[in-house]
Structure 1
Amino acid sequence: MKTISTKIAFLLLLTFSLSNAQISGNQVYGTGNSNRNSTATGVRSVSVNNSSLSVSVSILMNTKADGFVITFGLNEEAETVKECNSKINKRIDGFIARLKSLSIKKEELYVDFIAQTKVYDFEVNGTTSKQFEKGFEIKKNVIITTHKVSNLEKVITMASEFEIHDIIKVEYYNENSNEVHATLFDAALEMAEVKKEKYLKSFRKRSIGTPDATETFEVYHPKNQYKTYQAYESSEVETYSNNRNTNYMKKVARKNKSFYYDGVSSGGYDKVINSNQTEVGIQYTLTLTVSYKIDTSI
C-alpha cells in the first residue's frame, strides 16, 4: 500500500512539474530584470476589531489606446548649413507628403529641430594626424500622431523610403482617463459596501458616523512593461597549451534577444475589467481602502 501511495505522489508531482513547464515558455530564460517602474499587485484585505472595520478593494482595467505618438529621428551632413538643411528638409517633406495617404492631418505632425553641430575629421600624414573642419550636421525629429494602430507599420515603412530608420519611441495615450478613474472608483465603492455589510452581519456589529477613505490610482504604459530574455544553451570551450605566448581567439555565435510585453498581472484583484484583452494597451489600477467606525455600545 505504501508503494502505491508513493507512486501516486510521484505521478502527481511529475504531472504538476510538466504542466508548469508547458505554460512557462521561453521567458524562464529571463534574468528577472524589467524596465517597469513599479510592480502592481492587487490588495484585498479586511480587518475588524471592537472599534473599527477596514475594507480594501483593488480593481484592474485593461484598455486599448485611443491614439499613438511615434517619434522618428534623422540627421544629415553637408559642407554648409544651407546645403545640410536643404537635404534634410527634402527628405522630411517627401515623408510628410506620403503620410497624406493615411489621412494624417497637418496638426498631427510636428518637425522638431534638435541640433546643428560642426563635423570634424582627421587627415593622416605618416605618423602625424591633423584635425580639420569637414562640414555640418543637422538633427531633426518628426513627431506623428495617429489614432489607428494599423497605421504604425505603414508609417514606419513610409519613413524607410526616405532613409528615416531611427524610431525613437512610440507613446500610447487615452483621452478619457478621468472617465476611467470614475468607473473604477464607483465599482470599488460598490464592492467595498458589499464587503462591509457582509462582515458587519458576520460579526454582529453596526457602523456609525461617516467612514474615512484612502485611494491609490495608477496608470501603466506599455513602454515600461517590456522584458527581455535570451533562450539558448551553449557549450563551454576550454583550451590547454604549454606555450604561454600563444593567444587564442574564440568567435561567439550571435544569440538573438527576445522582448515581450509583461503587463500587470490580474492576480490579487477583486475585479478585472476587459480581462480577455489581447491587444497591448494602457492599464489602470485603483485601490480603495474604507474605514468604518463600529458602534461599541452594542
Structure 2
Amino acid sequence: MKTKLFYLLLLFESMTFAQISGNQVFSTNTNKSYGKQNGTSIGNTISINDNHLTMQVKVLLNEKADSFTLVIGTNQEAQTVAECNNLINKRIDGFINDIQKLKIKKENIYIDFISQTKVYDYTVGENQADEFQKGFEIKKNIIITSNQSASIEQIITTASKFEIYDIITVEYRNNDVLEKHTFLFEEAIKIADSKKDLYLKTFGKRIVGTPNASEDFSIFFPKTQYKKYQAFDTSEIETNYRNSNQNFIKKMTRKNTTYYYEGVESDAIDIVFNQSASEIGIQYVLTLTITYKLDTSL
C-alpha cells in the first residue's frame, strides 16, 4: 500500500510541474537577452554598508508602433538605359496608383534611385566563351510610411502584381520617444523611493546630502529580437570508398527554418508596462542606479 501511495505521489508531482517548452529548444542562437546571462538574472542590485546605500531599478515598456516605414526593392533590365528606366517607372507608377486605394498618401511614398549598371553575359562556343555587354540594369527602392500595420500585408500583395518582390525592411517608429523616457524615469523613481524607505527602516539608517544617480535608456526594435531554429532529428551515413567502384552521392532534404520573436527578458525587470500586449512593437528599458550617502553618526 505504501508503494502504491509513493508512486501516486510521484505521478502527481510530475503532473503538477509539467511544462511545454516548444520547438524553440532546438535553437542554437547564442545572443544574450537583456538582463539575463547564462540563465541567471543580473542587475537589480542593492547594497548597503555603513556609508552608502546603492540600488538599481529597471523598468520596461512595451509599446505599439505609431507608424511603419516599409522599404521595397525593385530592379529592371533592358538593352538601353532609356528602355530600362521607362519599364521600371511604369511598374512603380502602377504600384503607387494601386496602393493609394489603400489610403496611402502620395506624400508618404518616396522613390530612392539606387544604381544603374551594365549587365554582361557570355556567348559560349565549343572551346571558347566570349563576354559581351547584354544591356543595363536599374535598381530603385520604394519607401512607404503608414500608420496601419494591417496595410503592410496589402501593400506587399499589391507589389507582387507588378513583379516587385524584394521586401528589404520594415522599420517601427514612435512619435514621442521623449515622453516614453519621462514616463519610465518617473516610475523608476517611485520604485527607488519605495526600496530606499524599506532598507532605511530595516537597517535603521538615515540619508544625508544629495544622492548620486545615473541612468541607461535603451530601445529595442523588433528586427533585433528575432531568433531562429530548425526542429528535426537526422540519421548518419558512413561509406567506404575503398571497397566500392561507384561514386557516392548524398542528397539532403530541405529542412524548414522557423523564426520567432523573443523580446527583452523580464526576469531582471522591476515592473513591465503593457506586459500582456500581443502585438509586436517597440520595447523601452530604463535602468536607474542611485547611491545614497548614509549618516555615519547613527
TM-score by length of 2: 0.92
2:27 corresponds to which residue?
A: 30
Q: How far 1:15 sits from its partner (Å)?
A: 4.0
Are 1:213 and 1:290, in contact at CA under 8 Å, matched by a contact in 2?
Answer: yes
Q: Deviations over 1:132-178 (max 9, x none)?
A: 11110001100101100000100000000000001011111111110
Letter in 2 for 1:40: Y
Matches of 1:5 and 1:207, distance apart in 2: 58
Are 2:33 and 2:265, in contact at CA under 8 Å, matched by a contact in 1?
Answer: no
Matches of 2:272 and 2:79, distance apart in 1: 59
1:159 corresponds to which residue?
A: 159
Distance 1:124 1:7, change over 3 A: same
Matched residue SS, 2:210? strand
Q: Deviations over 1:63-98 (max 9, x none)?
A: 101111111111101110000000000000000001
Matches of 2:167 and 2:138, distance apart in 1: 17
2:251 corresponds to which residue?
A: 251
Q: Deviations over 1:212-241 (max 9, x none)?
A: 101011000000000011111223334456
1:40 corresponds to which residue?
A: 34
Question: What is the CA RMSD across the aligned residues, in angstroms?
Answer: 2.1
Aligned length: 292
Letter in 1 for 2:27: G
Distance 1:199 1:8, change over 3 A: farther
Q: How far 1:201 sits from its partner (Å)?
A: 0.8
Matches of 1:167 and 1:145, distance apart in 2: 14
Letter in 1 for 2:34: A
Q: How far 1:243 sits from its partner (Å)?
A: 3.8
Matches of 1:293 and 1:206, distance apart in 2: 9
Matched residue SS, 2:22? helix
Matches of 1:125 and 1:280, distance apart in 2: 56
- Kindly, what percent of the aligned residue pairs are identical? 49
Matches of 2:242 and 2:34, distance apart in 1: 57
Query: 5 Å matches for 1:81-230?
Result: 81-230=81-230
1:293 corresponds to which residue?
A: 293
Unaligned runs of 5+ in 1: none
Task: Kindly indicate whether residue 270 of structure 2 is the aligned counterpart of residue 270 of structure 1.
Answer: yes
Matches of 2:295 and 2:66, distance apart in 1: 48
Letter in 2 for 1:95: F
Q: How far 1:5 sits from its partner (Å)?
A: 9.2
Matches of 1:19 and 1:140, distance apart in 2: 53
Matches of 1:242 and 1:81, distance apart in 2: 58
Are 1:43 and 1:287, in contact at CA under 8 Å, matched by a contact in 2?
Answer: no
Matched residue SS, 1:19? coil
Distance 1:201 1:171, change over 3 A: same
2:69 corresponds to which residue?
A: 69
2:38 corresponds to which residue?
A: none
Are 1:30 and 1:230, in contact at CA under 8 Å, matched by a contact in 2?
Answer: yes
Are 1:33 and 1:227, in contact at CA under 8 Å, matched by a contact in 2?
Answer: no
Matched residue SS, 1:89? helix
Unaligned runs of 5+ in 2: 36-41
Matched residue SS, 2:18? helix
Q: How far 1:250 sits from its partner (Å)?
A: 2.2
